[in-house]
């Protein structure tokens, strides 16, 4: 009986060691990739947007060109009315460019099924979380997996795993989201956006409703996602704290590399 | 699959609203089950009653059309009318055969009548000694000037007087029906037989105006069952001087005698009363004079199920109203539902659920609620349909009888006067004896399928609100509004 327990412990240690080795290897690969200049996941080429009822030269967004690489965290900064949210809606495929184009992973969004794009390739995180209040935290995450058509045996287990990844304990899984704090809800929203392992996370003022400490914690999660999981994270923000944290800041008026 | 799961979660979440929708659909389903059961059973009863009658069409003279421009003032006006009347083209047997070649006609028969005088027999008649006034009920054609009316039937079906029991055969030769429709054989009235001391197998001779004689052998003696006569002072029945033979015998006589005026009365059995107008147009194209019109026996055929027809009409109106009102109520509730769930739609669209899947989720929600409500509604409807339908029929029959009694009272309360042809007065809206005094409205598979069809249609119609909204809503705008 004792021998059996020992052998199990040894096997567990081996598994842990193997896992650690694999994680170290993965991080190395990610760092190598980060150094590559051909790591562009999204490029915006001369994108302009005009509302359908606007006058001919009244653009909400005019002639914007940015490039985003995997493994980096970006901030898009701009004063009110510069078209930050419009740009975010174009990147997330909720609106289509009036002029110019957006290329994701080598394909123009114009040629893509945007529903599929939203439920597979990108994850969106909003300032006001946009969770379904009548569902529990785990149900919100599972819904996103369902929308993606993810076929895994135990979706709830996976949801709990994701919640733990963003710093939420298992106990929150069965709680209705309205019973969670703002920071906790935003973590659930991030977990939801990660549920189908997208290549890119787009966040619209994700820390706008949160206190400083929670903001830092949330930004840490994003940094990890970019630097350890090679995801491209784009944050639309006003916050100077966010801009200080990210790798690249794009100003909608004055684009500059940090 | 997740669409169904979401639909179910949503139903459980919005219990109040879904119970309200369920109650509305339950009421609609219940009303539809009862009305459909009544309607279907009524239609079956009407059809079965109707099928007991052949759908007959006869050619009649259109008096209304003739009288339209009739100017009776002065000799000139009367002369014009006479000329116009004389110019009306009659139709022949070959015309009737040509008319019968129509896709709307299943079969046909005709009677063919001429007037002949007796050569070796005498007309059954006892002249009154006093000069009683003539009430003018004599026939209008040339037959009134001859002793006998010889009527030829084209087939057994044509012998309507024997079929409806006006005449019954008293005596008949063994082979009568083998030879009755080919050759100079006649059936005579027992009064004429008695008057002339005639019996089976006797031969009688008739002659036309030109003096040409025709010999017929008696193969049957019939009696007329109806009391009364067109001649008020006659002791003989109407058919006493009617000789019944076959149409080909009459054809043979008229073929060689163009002066002999014959009357053809064709009856066409049609496949549907709905085709009568088309058939009439076809007859006109084939040469029927436009002063003739087609008349059907539809009124007579349906007179016994008038109450059931009324209930059928009532059920149809009620069903239509229920569906229209129910449909509108469901549509409005669904529109409110969609507005309340705008945020949910925005979130689901943002996480990449397609418009189609989202619409399907809303449709499924309604389908699940509707399905449960339809089953309950069908059950309640099935239990109550028989009682309600019979109560409606009873009330309808009572109403008819009250109307009848009221009119009867106007005539002195001694029963309805029987003037002229039977049914003449009843045709003015009084009920005949109803064929059915109960209507067992059953909920069968047909009713259930119709109910299912109605339910699905209602669900789809009321889902239009969600379809339009999901198509129109911009997820970003919804979420911005919420923020």
* Interface with A, mutate which of B9, B16, B351 (most A CBs under 10 A): B351
In the sheet that A200-204 helps form, which strands lie side by side, from edge to edge?
Answer: A122-125, A200-204, A232-237, A73-77, A248-251
Over residues B285-307, the mean pLDDT reads 82
Work out the number of other CB atoms within 10 angstroms of the CB of residue B140: 7
B1 Cβ contact partners less than 8 Å away, ≥ 6 residues apart = none
Cα–Cα separations (whole angstroms), residue A78 to A60, A237, A240, B270:
13, 8, 11, 85
Q: A117 and B348 in contact by Cβ < 8 A? A: no
Query: Chain B residue closest to A133 (CA)?
Result: B344
Nearest to A197 by CA among A225, A219, A223: A225
Nearest to A155 by CA among A192, A189, A201, A184: A192
Q: In this predicted model, what pLDDT tens digit does every residue of B112-137 receive, in sequence order?
A: 888 888 888 888 876 554 444 333 33
CA distance A231 to B358: 29
Which of chain B's residues have a Cβ under 8 Å away from the Cβ of A124? 350-351
Taking the mean position of all CA atoms in its chain, how far away is CA B193? 40
Which of chain B's residues have a Cβ under 8 Å away from the Cβ of A185? none
Work out the number of other CB atoms within 10 angstroms of the CB of residue B271: 13
Q: In this predicted model, what pLDDT tens digit does every residue of B147-201 receive, in sequence order?
A: 888 998 888 878 878 887 788 888 888 888 888 888 899 999 998 999 899 999 9
CA distance B383 to B441: 10
CA distance A196 to A120: 6
Work out the number of other CB atoms within 10 angstroms of the CB of residue B445: 7
Cα–Cα separations (whole angstroms), residue A136 to A112, A131, A171, A189, B382:
32, 9, 11, 12, 43
State the nearest Cα–Cα gap between A220 and chain B, in angstroms.
23
Which of chain B's residues have a Cβ under 8 Å away from the Cβ of A148? 352
3-state DSSP helix/strand/coil percent for chain A, to nearest 5? 45, 20, 35
* Interface with B, mutate which of A118, A139, A141, A178 (most B CBs under 10 A): A118
Q: A147 and B482 in contact by Cβ < 8 A? A: no
State the nearest Cα–Cα gap between A124 and chain B, in angstroms.
8
CA distance B141 to A108: 94
pTM score above 0.95: no
CA distance B355 to A61: 27
- Maximum CA extent, chain A: 81
Q: What is the pLDDT of residue B6?
A: 85
Q: Exposed (0-12), middle (13-18) or buried (19+): which is B182, by Cβ within 10 Å?
A: exposed
End-to-end CA distance of chain A: 61
Q: A119 and B476 in contact by Cβ < 8 A? A: no
Which residue's entry shows tokens 């349906």? B302
For residue B414, the 8-state DSSP code is S
User: What residue spans define the domains of chain B?
Assistant: 2-52+304-482, 56-302
CA distance A43 to A234: 12
State the nearest Cα–Cα gap between B8 and chain A, in angstroms.
13
Over residues B311-325, the mean pLDDT reads 88
Is the distance from CB of B172 to CB of B219 less than 8 angstroms?
Answer: yes
CA distance B477 to B334: 21
Give me the helices (H) in chain A, please: 2-35, 84-91, 114-116, 137-148, 155-165, 182-194, 212-227, 240-245
The beta-strand segments (E) located in B155-212 are 167-172, 185-189, 203-207
State the nearest Cα–Cα gap between A153 and chain B, in angstroms.
14
Q: Which residue has the higher pLDDT, A16 or B398?
A: B398
Residue A99 in 3-state DSSP? strand
Chain B: which residues have CB within 8 Å of chain A? 2, 5-6, 9, 13, 344, 346-348, 350-355, 474-476, 479-480, 482-483
Domains located in chain A, CATH noted: 36-251 (3.40.50.300)
Q: What is the pLDDT along chain A (258 residues), one digit of tens a residue?
A: 444 444 555 454 444 455 555 444 444 444 444 444 568 899 999 999 888 787 877 888 888 999 999 999 999 988 877 888 888 889 999 888 999 999 999 999 999 999 999 989 999 988 888 899 888 999 999 999 988 888 888 999 999 999 998 888 889 999 999 899 888 998 899 999 989 889 999 998 888 877 888 888 888 888 988 999 999 999 998 888 888 889 999 988 733 333
């Amino acid at each position: 009986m004792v021998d059996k327990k020992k052998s199990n412990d040894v096997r567990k240690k081996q598994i842990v060691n193997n896992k650690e080795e694999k994680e170290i290897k993965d991080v190395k690969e990610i760092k190598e990739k980060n150094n590559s200049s051909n790591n562009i996941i999204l490029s915006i080429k001369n994108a302009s947007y005009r509302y359908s009822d606007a006058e001919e030269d009244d653009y909400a967004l005019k002639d914007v060109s940015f490039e985003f690489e995997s493994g980096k965290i970006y901030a898009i900064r701009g004063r009110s009315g510069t078209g930050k949210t419009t740009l975010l809606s174009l990147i997330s495929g909720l609106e289509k460019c009036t002029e110019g184009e957006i290329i994701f992973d080598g394909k123009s969004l114009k040629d893509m099924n945007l529903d599929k794009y939203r439920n597979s390739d990108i994850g969106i995180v909003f300032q006001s979380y946009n969770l379904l209040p009548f569902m529990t935290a785990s149900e919100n995450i599972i819904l996103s997996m369902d929308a993606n058509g993810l076929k895994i045996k135990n979706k709830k287990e996976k949801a709990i795993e994701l919640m733990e990844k963003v710093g939420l304990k298992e106990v929150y899984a069965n709680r209705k989201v309205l019973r969670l704090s703002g920071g906790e809800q935003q973590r659930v929203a991030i977990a939801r956006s990660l549920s189908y392992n997208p290549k890119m996370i787009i966040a619209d003022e994700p820390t706008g409703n949160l206190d400083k400490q929670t903001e830092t914690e949330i930004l840490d999660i994003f940094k990890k996602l970019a630097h350890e999981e090679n995801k491209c994270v784009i944050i639309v923000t006003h916050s100077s704290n966010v801009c200080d944290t990210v790798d690249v800041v794009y100003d909608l008026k004055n684009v500059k590399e940090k | 699959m997740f669409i169904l799961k979401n639909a179910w979660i949503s139903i459980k979440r919005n219990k109040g609203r879904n119970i309200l929708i369920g109650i509305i659909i339950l009421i609609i389903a219940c009303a539809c089950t009862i009305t459909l059961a009544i309607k279907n059973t009524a239609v079956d009863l009407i059809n079965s009653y109707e099928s007991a009658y052949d759908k007959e069409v006869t050619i009649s003279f259109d008096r209304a059309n003739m009288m339209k421009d009739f100017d009776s003032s002065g000799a000139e006006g009367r002369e014009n009318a006479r000329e116009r009347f004389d110019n009306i083209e009659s139709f022949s047997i070959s015309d009737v055969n040509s008319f019968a070649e129509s896709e709307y006609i299943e079969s046909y028969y005709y009677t063919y009548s001429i007037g002949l005088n007796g050569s070796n027999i005498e007309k059954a008649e006892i002249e009154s000694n006093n000069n009683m006034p003539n009430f003018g009920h004599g026939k209008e054609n040339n037959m009134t000037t001859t002793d006998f009316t010889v009527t030829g039937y084209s087939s057994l079906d044509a012998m309507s007087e024997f079929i409806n029991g006006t005449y019954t055969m008293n005596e008949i030769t063994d082979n009568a029906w083998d030879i009755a429709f080919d050759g100079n054989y006649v059936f005579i009235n027992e009064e004429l037989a008695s008057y002339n001391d005639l019996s089976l197998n006797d031969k009688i001779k008739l002659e036309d105006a030109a003096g040409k004689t025709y010999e017929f052998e008696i193969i049957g003696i019939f009696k007329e069952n109806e009391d009364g006569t067109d001649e008020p002072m006659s002791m003989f029945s109407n058919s006493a001087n009617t000789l019944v033979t076959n149409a080909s015998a009459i054809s043979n006589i008229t073929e060689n005698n163009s002066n002999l005026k014959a009357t053809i009365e064709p009856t066409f059995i049609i496949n549907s009363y709905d085709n009568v107008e088309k058939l009439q147009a076809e007859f006109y194209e084939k040469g029927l004079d436009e002063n003739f019109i087609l008349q059907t026996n539809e009124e007579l055929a349906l007179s016994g199920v008038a109450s059931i027809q009324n209930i059928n009409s009532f059920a149809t109106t009620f069903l239509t109203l229920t569906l229209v009102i129910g449909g509108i109520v469901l549509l409005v509730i669904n529109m409110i539902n969609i507005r309340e769930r705008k945020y949910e739609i925005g979130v689901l669209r943002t996480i990449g659920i397609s418009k189609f899947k989202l619409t399907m989720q809303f449709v499924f929600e309604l389908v699940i609620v509707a399905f449960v409500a339809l089953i309950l509604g069908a059950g309640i409807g099935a239990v109550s349909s028989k009682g309600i339908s019979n109560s409606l029929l009873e009330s309808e029959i009572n109403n008819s009888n009250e109307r009848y009694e009221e009119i009867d009272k106007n005539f002195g309360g001694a029963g309805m006067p029987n003037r002229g042809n039977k049914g003449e007065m009843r045709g003015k809206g009084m009920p005949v004896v109803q064929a059915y005094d109960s209507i067992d409205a059953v909920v069968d598979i047909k009713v259930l399928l119709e109910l299912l069809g109605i339910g699905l249609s209602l669900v789809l119609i009321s889902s239009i609100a969600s379809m339009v909204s999901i198509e129109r809503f911009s997820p970003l705008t919804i979420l911005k509004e919420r923020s």
